[in-house]
Chain A
């Protein structure tokens, strides 16, 4: 009998293998966060003792936490992993950033457009991601193999039926699929799995004394002194992050949880969702759906 996590793990491995065998040009989206860490671990298992047969892609927004980038660069040295990094160079040349241009334009240009550029440039027609259905309402509606039209848009009202665990992986030229092997995992499952498999995470997930400022009703870490809003005076507080993205857009929570067990304990009594700390989802409930129609992951 398989345990709960065993089930989830086996299902994800099956899906990842299915992509590798039936899709022409797959890639795995890698965001450095905990879900990506789990996803990468699952991909290693799926092809052990061999090498992962597709590259990883990190879409960099130029505003990621320093520590995330260090972690990523260490991963790039792993001979079993082929890591690509893409930046929307036009946005960078224009000096786009969250403080000067607002969070939505920043996210749109670096993440949504950046991802579209990278997929088109390399001709990837299957992109595996670590998104889960429990994250957000429109995600709860998404298929495991989620079809994208030639302009990479998602048409939520016209999704392919997905019967049993038979996946239709066929696409015409220019069309693609996004694949979510961890669709049925919950946030707690992810943490539990990280603990069980002893996975190493970016330490920002664990509480530590860090310099923070209060900004837009959110605790922002002063990750890059030089790029802080004017007049900001960071103070040291014991904080951690439940999700990682661009440092100016990812809220820290005050916490003493310094180990995985502490974090899970905190979660079990917590009454807020992990996405709460994200500026980009807050506007209104439909905002994630809109972004996804435009090609956001």
Chain B
């Protein structure tokens, strides 16, 4: 039977005006998160009949509660999750009550899935931290609370679950709440509300329970309905990251994007953060035609009075409160990658609001112990670790501190090879203002210096295993170039390690730094107009890419000296393979440290069966063909 039409329209109108609350549930595995969400969905009638039938069927097969409905199965959506009885990834669930829409992110409890928890927490207004009343506050409780605090979630609901299993004991409840409040006092939450409940039996979930007469506060759902969320935009500084320049025809040139904070109206003055140029908003093309004003969250197209230099990645802001503009800042990072750890010096792609730039973590200041919050000195961050680092970007960014603005103060780091999202970052503060960074303007240019030498500067980067023949070929080539009057220099791995890089060892971190320094030196030498021959094992693709990107387009020539490992071992000119195989030399490339062969080198030299001079000549020919020398 259908509801009468006018009533339908009333209900829809009411639905439109309900506020939205985003919740993340967290806590250790088995504390009952999935059960709690399942219970909330069931009690608010958000589960439909056919879903309930599937649930009953699944409960008998995979359930942990005999023939009773196992609510956890409602949210554990992946086959592996149902089989192993654990949550692996975030599930998003939707729930509406007459006063609010809720989006609930159910996140996994296992430490190895912390990144999935962070995914769910990044957009939440409230975190429900579950605790098993028998087990009390655990490491995961602390870890998740810490992440919730880092991500700026203001409200915590401490759900002391399985209260049925501790005989509805008030003392136990108080004890847990005390523990939690003591440890969370440094986390800066604006509100912590503790509720004793039983997800399985429904006590204090949607309604107060007679079995906890000592608890006089609100049950979970009414509490969630009443939490105040700050959604006022007045007084918030206006931020509009330009998503795209919209130019469908000659009469329309606008800047499309989503208002990240504050609001803007027709007639307002706005400033392009990176250039400082300002203009006036003359028109706001909205989702349903023109509109006089746009608030936070709205996707619109702004048309300005003047043609100012403005493209994707720039931020329009209010004149009275401008964002920072800098190419260096300090940030807190949560590391997500299980394949490799974070090492200073590695290049990444940094992505924020609407900007994407190459970036490097220049220094790792410290790691934070999630249990004790103690800062510890560290040289790398591994999976799920949190640390504070300095970051430098190829070009200046417009940003705020995360504390001030969750949208314009957050970013992710992306691996350059795999494109995996390897870290989440929250900006603490800028390290210097870009406007203070003036390059010394030089009168004699690089080109002028190179032309005087009748050549183009280049970096010939020989990469390959130890003993593959890099130095031999580089030497032969340099002789040829020198003989024909070219100006060259060789940077050899072994030699540089005796001087400039004397302080570096062979750990992964040190190898990265080794390459970074050599690349910087090579770059200076190109400024001098030289042809630089670099002969370095340089085993990691990411570092070779870093070096390539430091040079000008076309200047970097990757030469892969390709000799099979067995051949190098057989040659073993310096006796190093012998030592490494005997275990006397650690982290030796090819033996117990990887060599990432170039996928598409500019020049590929297969040394076996070839003559050194022929190989050197083939490189010289390549340089001729590509106009480096004439």
A contact residues vs B (CB 8 Å cutoff)? 1-7, 9-11, 13-14, 17-18, 20-22, 45-51, 133-134, 136-141, 143, 156-157, 159-166, 168, 170-172, 175, 183-184, 186, 188, 192, 195, 256-257, 259, 261-262, 264-266, 268-273, 275-276, 285-286, 289-290
Contact = CB atoms under 8 A, between A and B. Distances in A.
11 contacts: A4-B16, A9-B287, A13-B299, A17-B299, A50-B252, A134-B94, A159-B89, A168-B421, A268-B8, A271-B48, A285-B54
Given A49-B252, A285-B58, A161 B119 contact: yes
B363 interface: no
Interface of B: 1-5, 7-9, 11-12, 15-18, 20, 48-51, 54, 57-58, 74-80, 82, 88-94, 101, 103, 115-116, 118-119, 122-123, 231, 243-244, 246, 248-249, 252, 256-258, 285, 287, 295, 297-299, 312, 336, 349, 351-353, 356, 406-407, 410-412, 414, 418-421, 424
Contacts of B299: 9-11, 13-14, 17, 46
B94 A133 contact: yes
Given A168-B414, A276-B50, A2 B92 contact: no
A285 to B, nearest CB: 5
A2 B103 contact: no
Contacts of A140: 75, 77, 91-93
Contact of B8 (A3, A51, A264, A275): A264
A47 B411 CA distance: 26
Nearest to B5: A261
B412 A166 contact: yes
Given A140-B93, A170-B419, A164 B50 contact: no
A262 B92 contact: no
Given A161-B118, A261-B5, A265-B3, A271 B49 contact: yes
Given A4-B20, A163-B119, A271-B48, A51 B248 contact: yes
- What are the 7 closest A-B residue pairs judged by CB atoms, nearest first? A50-B248, A137-B77, A265-B2, A265-B3, A10-B299, A170-B419, A13-B299
Nearest to B424: A163
A141 B287 contact: no
A156 B54 contact: no
A265 B92 contact: no
Contacts, number: 194
Given A9-B287, A160-B421, A276-B50, A4 B89 contact: no
B293 to A, nearest CB: 11
Given A138-B78, A164-B410, A268 B248 contact: no
Given A18-B243, A157-B78, A271-B49, A164 B297 contact: no
B258 A161 contact: no
B118 A21 contact: no
A265 B349 contact: no
Given A166-B352, A273-B51, A10 B287 contact: yes
Contact of A264 (B12, B103, B244): B12
B412 A50 contact: no
A195 B9 CA distance: 10
Given A1-B231, A3-B16, A168-B351, A256 B2 contact: yes
A74 B91 CA distance: 38
A257 B3 CA distance: 11
A6 B287 contact: yes
Contact of A163 (B80, B89, B257, B412): B412
A181 B610 CA distance: 56
A136 B75 CA distance: 10
Pick the most buried of A51, A170, A264: most chain B CB atoms within 10 A of its CB. Answer: A170
Given A13-B287, A261-B9, A166 B295 contact: no
B2 A14 contact: no
B287 A184 contact: no
B122 to A, nearest CB: 4
A262 to B, nearest CB: 5
Given A50-B249, A265-B7, A286 B91 contact: no
Contact of A289 (B75, B77, B295): B77
B352 A272 contact: no
Contacts of B246: 47, 50
A183 B92 CA distance: 9
Contacts of B12: 192, 195, 264
A22 B61 CA distance: 44
B91 A4 contact: no
A161 B351 contact: no
Contacts of B406: 164
A139 B90 CA distance: 11
A1 B285 contact: no
A49 B248 contact: yes
A11 to B, nearest CB: 8
A96 to B, nearest CB: 27
Pick the most buried of A6, A164, A165, A269: most chain B CB atoms within 10 A of its CB. Answer: A164
Contacts of A270: 48
Nearest to A45: B287
Contacts of A11: 297, 299
A14 B419 contact: no
Contacts of B351: 166, 168
A289 B3 contact: no
Contacts of A136: 77
Nearest to B113: A157
Contacts of A6: 287, 298
A272 B362 CA distance: 55
Contacts of B353: 166
B225 to A, nearest CB: 15
Contacts of A168: 351, 412, 414, 419, 421
Nearest to A287: B79
B234 to A, nearest CB: 11
